Structure 1
Amino acid sequence: MDILRLLIDERAVVIFSRSTCGICYSMKQLISSYGANPTVYELDEMANGREIERALQALGCQPTVPAVFIGQRFIGGANEVISLQVQGGLVPLLLDAGAIWIWNRAT
């Protein structure tokens, strides 16, 4: 768990991903579409990727990627992020975390 804390500390949005994961790509695109600049860790490109994956599993991530943290808080995977977005809760989280500073909802 300490390894995750080191990677997410002081970052507004962190996404643990795999470079070949289509759903991970969609999560990165969704969050970026709001103007956020997430820190992305591609586990398949990291020497300690397996260790990080075990830590994510210990948090309850199943599957382990994508795993999204906003404001140093574990949000969940794709289903949780999409659910937040549909319910209108994603933007407030991004704003509170300082990932985006302004949001102008088109009418």
Structure 2
Amino acid sequence: MASSLCAPRAVAVKGSAGEAWANRVNPSPNAMQCRHRTTDFRLLRRQNREIGRSVVVKSMSSSQSQTDDLIKSKNEHNPVVIYSKSWCPYCSKVKGLFKKLGVKVVVVELDELVEEADVQAALKRMTGQSTVPNVFIGGKHVGGCDDTHRLHSQGKLIPMLQGAKAQMQG
């Protein structure tokens, strides 16, 4: 019975890119009952995911350039993006910093992606950093946990967030 709750369904998306999106696989209406929620990686750039919410990619091309383009697009369309692993204490620390600052961020939990290795390899090609967390502000790579905390202690993080038009509470 659990498998029927997780069964994907085909959805045709209307709009300028409707034909390209036709027959994409999206989660069933009961997907929230599943252990992981599936979605297309490209749709993530249209959604603001707050800290603690993660997504599993159901299907994405293994092409390096497509993966790179998806990551670049995600980083450009969101003020703050953190590529993380759910079990990583450094990731938790940097997510905690943004939460403490009241900043809404998009978190991509790599260990919950089907294409974890592809996305992490693309991030390494793009940034030279093979570790997580991998933090982007305003589409620019700022580094990992220590780099982000260093920027905050130097008083440079808040101006960067404001320049990226990140949503901040209080």
Q: How many residues matched?
A: 102
- TM-score, normalised on structure 1? 0.87
Q: What fraction of aligned residue pairs are identical, expressed as a percent?
A: 34
Is 1:32 paired with 2:99?
yes
Q: Match for residue 48 of structure 1? A: 115
Give the RMSD, CA atoms, in angstroms: 1.5
Whole-angstrom CA distance in 2 between matches of 1:62 and 1:100: 28
- Unaligned segments of structure 1, at least 5 residues: none
Pairs within 5 Å for 1:1-107:
1-58=68-125, 59-63=127-131, 65-100=132-167
Whole-angstrom CA distance in 2 between matches of 1:37 and 1:48: 25
Whole-angstrom CA distance in 1 between matches of 2:144 and 2:110: 15
Whole-angstrom CA distance in 2 between matches of 1:55 and 1:39: 18
Whole-angstrom CA distance in 2 between matches of 1:72 and 1:25: 21
Shift of 1:7: 2.3
Shift of 1:77: 0.6
Structure with more contact order per residue of length (Cα contacts < 8 Å, sep ≥ 6): 1
- TM-score, normalised on structure 2? 0.56
Question: Of the two, which has the highest radius of gyration?
Answer: 2
